[in-house]
Structure 1
Amino acid sequence: MSESPRRPPGRNRVLSLLDRLEREPAADKVIEVLRSGVRALPLGRGRDVLHGRWLGHPLHPLMVQVPIGSWMSAAVLDLRPGRSRESRVLVGLGLVAAAPAALAGWVDWAELHRQQQRVGLVHALSNIAAVGLYATSLSRRVRGREAAGRAYGFLGLTAVGVGGMLGGHLAYRQASGANHAEEVPHVVSEGWHRVGAVADFPAGEPVRRSVDDVPVLVVREPGGQVHALAERCSHLAGPLAEGTVADGCVRCPWHGSAFRLSDGWNVSGPATAPQPSFEIRIVDGYVEVRLRHQDGGRPARKRMTHTARR
């Protein structure tokens, strides 16, 4: 008796809902108003601080550990008798810490793609609901209604869990906050690569070339010095070759991140990671580039071939 063929596994319902959310334009007008409002906040240099440029990666995921940890700890204490005072302190601490964490999140959210913003808005609404529930929980606890306070606390923790799931989708499925240039050192092969004649690069204009199928930005300054960086912005892979060059930097046309041409350092956000940069040499009137830190310093990883995999 032959076995019946297995049915292919069904699609994950949660992921299907999230995929639909990414494509749903119903809230786009609200998103645009909120985005403009967040961008208009007079934060000055504090905006880059909130982005986490000084840290090298987004600040928001680090800051949310305090409210989440406080509320989780309060839930554990709520399962044990005689710990009401400690639970109140932890719930209050979480509420205080939620405000700066939310501000950092909103600042990052305003510089995302629309599909990411749609998920991010629901993520924010889940966390706002959690804050409201925990504020109610604290109010009930202060008034001596401990049972109600614990109930609202557990509801708040549920909302936090939903928000965390959506935050994970944003970070790992949609790659918001990830370094979109991280793979460059792993896919560009060692050695020098010819990218064109010097005359092919008009002074002061960004030009896109390719090395091992990796887009590379080449800029020749009016004085003759040539620079090369990975062309896709580390923030969200924006095309730097379509950006503007000024004051020794290139500015991304999508979200305004600026990178120093000499070494790829991100001088302003929202990008939190620098651009991989290339060494330059001129040979017989042609520009050749080599990824920095090769042949000295940290060696680049050799490209893996099919033979090597076997």
Structure 2
Amino acid sequence: MRPFDDIDRLAAWPALDKVAAPARDLVNKLLTNRKVADVLHGVPIGHPLHPALVQLTLGSFVSASLLDALPGTRRSAGTLVGVGLVSALPTIAAGWADYSQAHEEQQRVGIVHAASSATMVSGYAVSLVQRLRGRSGRARLWGWGALAVGSAGAVLGGHMSYHQALGANHAEGYPHIGPEDWTDVGTLDELPEGAPTRRVVGDVGIVLVRRGQEIRALGERCSHASAPLSDGELTVEDGQECLVCPWHASVFRLDDGKVVHGPATAPAPTFPTRVRDGRVELRVATWPGVPAS
């Protein structure tokens, strides 16, 4: 049996939905400000925010617990526990934001991950109180116990990121598997005006949007969770035409694939297009987020 088979069983355990689903609904009810949600997802930095913040929170706790094993480091360890507790607030908020837009299997693992993380933070809070009261021995024990629980939670978090691909860029492969040469995708007349249209080039799905003689082309799969963007709707954001993901409402700019709103953080791959003799051609020529030319 592989070490992580039990986590896969956890992801397939529907009984967790009794807790996971209400938690998701509560977060979505509270997180209604789109700008705040974008920040928590990491849209401004083009990368999920939660994993970056975890480095500060968990790193502070781990460092504090290591210092607790050394003589003469009580004050430094206490400072690090305080840093970890303060940084835990935005870390938790970013994690719940990502959780609210995850699929069911991810949420089942995620709710256990959240419970273990909450236990760790609570344990370090008690540890800090014990330090302030001068009870160094109890403080160290609470910290080490909290770290043990938090380490198990960290394993679940890594499983969600690397095994379940929560927060991963699901459109990363397009520049590697798309056509390098100009490739015919049909006649211009076949494309409806102003409506997302799906085409397949080799093994690559493309979504095309026609505006007169101009064609915009993006990778069809949303970078957040592989939703088919060809099923999405067009909208206008800040004067720019955009495509809205049909699953989680991420918004991508048609001109360059840039993420306007999350939960997606990675841009959609763009494809240069041209019309020759009434036929539309495209190719991969840029990395996602770089305007096609």
What TM-score, normalized to structure 1? 0.88
In 2, distance between residues paired with 1:195 and 1:271?
Answer: 27
- Counterpart of 1:129? 119
> Structure 1 counterpart of 2:215, which letter?
V
Q: CA RMSD in A?
A: 1.6
Offset of residue 32 of structure 1: 2.0
- Counterpart of 1:37? 26
Offset of residue 136 of structure 1: 1.2
Of 278, 285, 290, the match for 1:292: 285
Offset of residue 224 of structure 1: 3.9
In 2, distance between residues paired with 1:238 and 1:207?
Answer: 14
In 2, distance between residues paired with 1:33 and 1:119?
Answer: 15
In 2, distance between residues paired with 1:55 and 1:292?
Answer: 24
Of 183, 190, 196, the match for 1:200: 190
Which structure 2 residues correspond to residues 197-236 of structure 1 after superposition, within 5 A? 197-221=187-211, 223-236=212-225
- Counterpart of 2:265? 272
Asked if structure 1 preserves the Cα contact closer than 8 Å seen for 2:270 and 2:286, the reply is: no
Of 69, 75, 88, the match for 1:85: 75
- Counterpart of 1:237? 226
Of 250, 270, 275, the match for 1:282: 275
> Structure 1 counterpart of 2:10, which letter?
L
In 2, distance between residues paired with 1:189 and 1:150?
Answer: 58
> Structure 1 counterpart of 2:87, which letter?
A
Asked if structure 2 preserves the Cα contact closer than 8 Å seen for 1:203 and 1:219, the reply is: yes
Asked if structure 2 preserves the Cα contact closer than 8 Å seen for 1:229 and 1:277, the reply is: yes
Offset of residue 19 of structure 1: 0.9
Which structure 2 residues correspond to residues 1-310 of structure 1 after superposition, within 5 A? 11-12=1-2, 14-41=3-30, 42-221=32-211, 223-247=212-236, 248-293=241-286
Offset of residue 292 of structure 1: 3.0
Structure 1 residues not aligned, in runs of 5+: 1-10, 298-310
- Runs ≥4 in structure 1, deviation > 6 angstroms? none
Asked if structure 2 preserves the Cα contact closer than 8 Å seen for 1:249 and 1:261, the reply is: yes
Counting aligned pairs with the same residue, the percent is 47
In 2, distance between residues paired with 1:242 and 1:30?
Answer: 31
Asked if structure 1 preserves the Cα contact closer than 8 Å seen for 2:180 and 2:285, the reply is: no
In 1, distance between residues paired with 2:122 and 2:195?
Answer: 51
> Structure 2 counterpart of 1:37, which letter?
L
In 2, distance between residues paired with 1:264 and 1:90?
Answer: 41
Asked if structure 1 preserves the Cα contact closer than 8 Å seen for 2:19 and 2:111, the reply is: no
Q: Which structure features the higher share of helix residues?
A: 2
Structure whose CA Rg is larger: 1
Q: How many residues align?
A: 284
